[in-house]
């Protein structure tokens, strides 16, 4: 006998209360991480600007043009770093919110979900930081001449690099998104396989939009791992679409 979900569902008010509880916990975690990261703001500044300073001429520096600009930029660095270091806990809270809609046998995957999601998010950021950003910055800095020197705004650089790294981190979460999309019935493995050629087109368009450098090499650097992740997502969708083998005891529950 195949497992069937229970007919009873949590009322909307219970879902909203559960969402509020999870959001509060996530905000507290990010806030505590923000405080810790702000204390280390100078070290974080050196880390985030290293890809640029590695390709700039010697004795280069950044500027800020507003009195409060540097302060708020340091806050942005601390907030972004807090999202990264607290991401395992944030992902755990997301899982706990969606877990009532899963079968009992599927709830044991909480640890793999948190670990894999964290590894993919961190892997995307590291890929962007070490692989994609340096050639992009090198491309732009090559326009430097004796008569044309870069005077880079701290705010503009940080906005560009953080958006770029966050885009990489989130795009590497594609298999996780597909897992949940399959669970709620939005997609399935057959659909993903049939739409592969359209997915390739969308991936290259996304790479062209998200990559700061207009050169083809940087865009390919982003498109190739995204395509690999798409193929992985097809496998994930097949796994997510399988029904639990047992029985009446393997039902969806409300917590």
- The domain locations on the chain are 12-132+148-172, 175-242
Specify burial of residue 128 (Cβ count, 10 A radius: 0-12, 13-18, 19+): buried
- 218's tokens: 């940087």
The per-residue DSSP string of 128-187 comes to IIIIIHHHHHHHHHTT--SS----EEHHHHHHHHHHHHHHHHHHTTHHHHHHHHHHTTS-
pLDDT given at position 180: 82
Distance CA 58, CA 246 (A): 66
Distance CA 103, CA 3 (A): 8
pLDDT tens readout for residues 190-218? 999 999 999 999 998 988 887 766 777 77
pLDDT tens readout for residues 47-62? 999 999 998 888 888 9
pLDDT given at position 248: 46
SS3 content of the chain, % helix, strand, coil (to 5): 75, 0, 25
What's the pLDDT band for 2 if we cut at 50, 70, 90?
A: very low
pLDDT given at position 142: 86
Distance CA 223, CA 219 (A): 6
pLDDT given at position 245: 56
What's the pLDDT band for 244 if we cut at 50, 70, 90?
A: low
pLDDT given at position 174: 92
Buried b (16+ CB within 10 A) or exposed e, 63-76: eeeeeeebeebbee
Which three-class secondary structure state does DSSP give residue 251? coil
Distance CA 59, CA 70 (A): 20
First to last CA, the chain: 24
pLDDT tens readout for residues 108-134? 778 888 889 889 999 999 998 998 888
pLDDT given at position 1: 46
Q: What is the pTM of this model?
A: 0.79
pLDDT given at position 10: 60
- A 10 A CB-CB count for 224 gives 12
């Amino acid at each position: 006998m195949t497992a069937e979900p229970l007919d009873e569902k949590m009322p909307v008010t219970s879902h909203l209360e559960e969402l509020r509880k999870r959001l509060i916990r996530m905000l507290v975690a990010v806030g505590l991480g923000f405080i810790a990261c702000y204390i280390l703001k100078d070290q974080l500044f050196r880390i985030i600007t290293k890809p640029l300073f590695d390709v700039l001429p010697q004795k280069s520096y950044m500027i800020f043009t507003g009195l409060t600009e540097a302060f708020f930029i340091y806050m942005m660095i601390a907030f972004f770093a807090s999202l990264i270091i607290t991401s395992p806990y944030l992902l755990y809270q997301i899982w706990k919110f969606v877990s009532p809609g899963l079968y009992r046998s599927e709830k044991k995957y909480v640890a793999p979900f948190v670990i894999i999601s964290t590894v993919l998010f961190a892997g995307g950021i590291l890929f962007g930081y070490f692989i994609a950003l340096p050639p992009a910055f090198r491309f732009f800095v090559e326009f430097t001449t004796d008569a044309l020197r870069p005077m880079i705004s701290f705010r503009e650089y940080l906005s560009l690099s953080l958006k770029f790294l966050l885009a990489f981190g989130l795009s590497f979460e594609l298999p996780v998104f597909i897992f949940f999309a399959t669970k709620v019935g939005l997609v399935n493995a057959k659909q993903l396989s049939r739409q592969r050629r359209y997915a390739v087109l969308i991936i290259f368009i996304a790479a062209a939009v998200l990559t700061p450098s207009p050169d083809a090499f940087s865009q390919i650097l982003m498109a190739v791992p995204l395509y690999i992740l798409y193929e992985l997502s097809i496998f994930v969708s097949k796994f997510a679409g399988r029904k639990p083998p047992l029985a009446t005891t393997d039902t969806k529950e409300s917590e």
